[in-house]
Chain A
Amino acid sequence: MNPRRSRLCVRVFALVAALLGLGASAFAEPPATRLTVFAAASLQEVFRGLEPTFEAAHPGVDVVFSFAGSQELRMQLEHGAPADVFASADEALFAPLQAANLVQPPVTFATNGLVLVVSADRKATLTRFEDLPTATRVVLGAPEVPVGRYTAQSLDRMGGDFRARVEARVVSRELNVRQVLAKVKLGEADAGIVYATDARAAGGALGVVPVPDAAQVRARYGVAVRVHATAPEAAQDWVALLTGPAGQKALSAAGFGAPAP
């Protein structure tokens, strides 16, 4: 083997060894307790914000999150995912999990209303919820997912043929609320109906039009501890943090409503 080549070999070997070392260090020194929180995608910002508070109050506990659609998380739980806490954007998902003895009784910790988001191009002209049928392209949540179900209820409450007139403008029924938002943000759709918190997270580029009170539908968010949680005390404390003053303050700052009595 010529010397140049062998030097290259040594370098490649060193690089591979270094990469392996990096990989191994991820497994080294597990913290005393790991709290695994499964949460609806819309909770991402608030939960990440609460993590330092929680970890400061619980030395030795490392909080790890898995954010996804509530329905996907429910399926993962049914297939034995090792979560300690499940926070769902749809309280209806808890009943089958409870029936299978997978989670303890849930607690409602927040609500979320609907708003109309309007693309930058149309926000000057589409300023009232009643004007939604004038949009050329509307995207809504699919009726199979919670936001789509609430949207349909809301459109129905507008009365008359409002829902039919809006649905005539629908070009896509998205499978999660972030996809509705993405298409309005990209300007491909003129308007979409999302949760108030998503609209707030999107910043100022979009127009945000409130849904009239009479047509408003509020999603109820619930949280439950898994029956065979690996960190049951930390899990209870996470639930207590959410329902306590610090959690409620963070949720309210993100646009969530207080749990209705």
Chain B
Amino acid sequence: MIRRAWDAMTRLAGAVLVMLLLGPLVALVVATGPESLWAVRSHPLVGPALALSLQTSLVSLALTVVLGTPLAWSLSRARGRWAGLLETALQLPVVMPPAVAGVALLLAFGRRGLPGRLGFEDASLAFTTAAVVLAQTFVSAPLYVQSALAAFRRLEPDMLAVARSLGASPARVFFGVALPLSAGALSAGAALCWARALGEFGATLMFAGNLGGVTQTLPLAIYTALESDPAVAQALSVGLMVFAFGLLLLLRRLAPSGRAAA
């Protein structure tokens, strides 16, 4: 009896949040309808923006995984106050309002930032496709580093010690033991990070600007369309959601152990 009541309560609480999270998405899909979704595919903003979004978010994801995995690994081994401080500081880009993140990126990598001060004024990254990748990485990499860090911390220290004592090199321990055991959690983190990069808007608009084919990603194209034709923007958003949903599902399939670990 108590068990039943408990089950009912947890399900009810869960249902409220599911409604809040999925209600707006369902409303968007219902309000858009399949015809306008089909009609929007040939809209001039769509093709270049979709291609750019895919390219930049995948480059950003690759950058994050290649640099973020070693970072998470060393943080998970590190002890002491500074490591803790660094770990906390690395989460700040997620909390920062996106437009402020864009200004910060401009101040760091724009004309008056690091390249400008070193005398390479024309090397400024602002308003380039590289700026889009940088903005996406800035806001999404912390998510990956966090999940990788959590995954590495869950590994049994004894197991790694045994591998070392059997003569495995540190690199072998990392690639042969730690990585395979954390693969599920890592790919779940990568999927989340990639989805965040794909949806990135505010920092991109500020740091990379909005120019078709160069820096106008799908979210920027959607916002641009919203200014003149909200119906097109809606259809584009539904397209982006369906696409992201499909890719996230695919990633879950590719990493079956991700289900348990994530």
Binding site for B on A (CB under 8 A): 69, 71, 75, 137, 139, 142, 144-145, 170-175, 179, 182-183, 186-188
Query: Does B227 count as interface, using CB distance less than 8 angstroms?
Result: yes
Contact residues in A for B226 (Cβ distance below 8 Å): 71, 75
Query: Does B111 count as interface, using CB distance less than 8 angstroms?
Result: yes
Given known A171-B127, A175-B223, A187-B111, contact A144–B211 (CB-CB < 8 A): no
Point out the residue from B106, B208, B227, B230 that lies within 8 Å of A69, measured CB to CB.
B227
Contact residues in A for B208 (Cβ distance below 8 Å): 172
Question: Do B103 and A144 touch (CB < 8 A)?
Answer: no
CA distance A87 to B228 in the complex (A): 18
Given contacts A142-B210, A172-B209, A173-B212, 19 further A-B contacts (CB under 8 A): A71-B227, A71-B228, A75-B226, A75-B230, A142-B224, A142-B227, A144-B227, A171-B127, A171-B209, A172-B127, A172-B208, A172-B210, A172-B215, A175-B210, A179-B205, A186-B106, A187-B111, A188-B111, A188-B126
CA distance A142 to B212 in the complex (A): 10
Question: Do A186 and B209 touch (CB < 8 A)?
Answer: no
Closest 4 pairs (CB-CB, A-B):
A172-B209, A171-B127, A144-B228, A144-B227
Distance to closest chain B CB from A130 (angstroms): 24
Digit string of B213-249 for contact with A (CB within 8 Å is 1, else 0)? Answer: 0010000000111111010000000000000000000
Chain B 102-118 interface residues, beta-carbon cutoff 8 Å to A: 103, 106-107, 110-112
Chain B 90-135 interface residues, beta-carbon cutoff 8 Å to A: 103, 106-107, 110-112, 124, 126-127
Q: Enumerate 24 A-B pairs (CB-CB under 8 Å) in ascending A order.
A: A69-B227, A71-B227, A75-B230, A139-B209, A142-B210, A144-B224, A145-B227, A170-B211, A171-B209, A171-B211, A172-B127, A172-B209, A172-B215, A173-B210, A173-B224, A174-B209, A175-B205, A186-B103, A186-B106, A186-B110, A186-B112, A187-B110, A187-B111, A188-B127
CA distance A187 to B127 in the complex (A): 13
Contact residues in A for B126 (Cβ distance below 8 Å): 171, 188
Distance to closest chain A CB from B190 (angstroms): 30
Question: Do A175 and B111 touch (CB < 8 A)?
Answer: no
Contact residues in B for A179 (Cβ distance below 8 Å): 205-206
Distance to closest chain A CB from B223 (angstroms): 6
Select from chain B the residue with minimum beta-carbon distance to A183: B209
Point out the residue from A139, A170, A175 that lies within 8 Å of B224, measured CB to CB.
A175
CA distance A146 to B127 in the complex (A): 22
Given known A137-B127, A142-B224, A144-B228, contact A173–B112 (CB-CB < 8 A): no
Question: Do B209 and A187 touch (CB < 8 A)?
Answer: no
Interface size in chain B (residues, C-beta < 8 A): 24
Contact residues in B for A75 (Cβ distance below 8 Å): 226, 230
Contact residues in A for B112 (Cβ distance below 8 Å): 186-188
Contact residues in B for A175 (Cβ distance below 8 Å): 205, 210, 223-224, 227
Contact residues in A for B124 (Cβ distance below 8 Å): 188
CA distance A259 to B130 in the complex (A): 45
Distance to closest chain B CB from A109 (angstroms): 23
CA distance A21 to B228 in the complex (A): 43
CA distance A171 to B131 in the complex (A): 12
CA distance A145 to B111 in the complex (A): 27
Digit string of B173-203 for contact with A (CB within 8 Å is 1, else 0)? Answer: 0000000000000000000000000000000
CA distance A154 to B228 in the complex (A): 20
Contact residues in B for A144 (Cβ distance below 8 Å): 224-225, 227-228
Distance to closest chain A CB from B142 (angstroms): 25
CA distance A179 to B209 in the complex (A): 9
Distance to closest chain A CB from B20 (angstroms): 18
CA distance A183 to B206 in the complex (A): 8
Question: Do A173 and B211 touch (CB < 8 A)?
Answer: yes
Contact residues in A for B110 (Cβ distance below 8 Å): 186-188
Contact residues in A for B206 (Cβ distance below 8 Å): 179, 182
Distance to closest chain B CB from A137 (angstroms): 7
Select from chain A the residue with minimum beta-carbon distance to B107: A186
Distance to closest chain A CB from B88 (angstroms): 22
Select from chain B the residue with minimum beta-carbon distance to A121: B111
CA distance A35 to B45 in the complex (A): 39
CA distance A179 to B103 in the complex (A): 11
Select from chain B the residue with minimum beta-carbon distance to A137: B127
Kindly name the residue among A75, A171, A183, A187 whose own CB sees the greatest number of chain B CB atoms within 10 A.
A171
CA distance A145 to B103 in the complex (A): 22
Distance to closest chain A CB from B213 (angstroms): 12
Contact residues in A for B211 (Cβ distance below 8 Å): 170-173
Kindly name the residue among A71, A139, A182, A186 whose own CB sees the greatest number of chain B CB atoms within 10 A.
A186
Contact residues in B for A145 (Cβ distance below 8 Å): 227-228
Select from chain A the residue with minimum beta-carbon distance to B212: A173
Contact residues in B for A139 (Cβ distance below 8 Å): 209
